[in-house]
Amino acid sequence: MALEAVINRQGIYRVVLEAYPEGVYVLVFDTSDAKWPCRDNLQNDWGMAKRSAQHRYGIADADWKEIPDTHFNG
């Protein structure tokens, strides 16, 4: 499972949260057609990843939608 929030701001089009054995990555895509994240941030768990995305990008819980795993870091 992964979560996605489309925020469509200058330099940040969407943010994806995805779990891996080492934690949950916050993956930032800068355009709608970006194939790979322009930056990522590793958090310990889903709660910390969501709080990080809320603090950095203003993404609320209601903004997330479930998407299939992306496997960007796998």
Q: Is residue 72 part of a domain?
A: no
**pLDDT surpasses 80 at 36:** yes
How far is it, in rounded angstroms, from Cα 49 to Cα 19?
A: 10
What's the pLDDT tens digit per position in 43-68?
999 999 999 999 999 999 999 999 98
Q: Is residue 36 part of a domain?
A: yes
Domains in the chain, number: 1
Q: Is residue 9 part of a domain?
A: yes
Predicted confidence band at 34 (pLDDT cuts at 50, 70, 90)? very high
How far is it, in rounded angstroms, from Cα 62 to Cα 40?
A: 22
Q: Is residue 19 part of a domain?
A: yes
The vertex-53 CA angle with 49 and 59, nearest 5°, equals: 130
Range of the domain at 61: 2-67
CB-CB contact of 35 with 16 (8 Å) = no
Q: Is residue 15 part of a domain?
A: yes
**pLDDT surpasses 70 at 6:** yes
Closest CA to 2 of 74, 73, 65: 65
Task: Give me the chain's average pLDDT, please.
Answer: 93
pLDDT of residue 71: 74
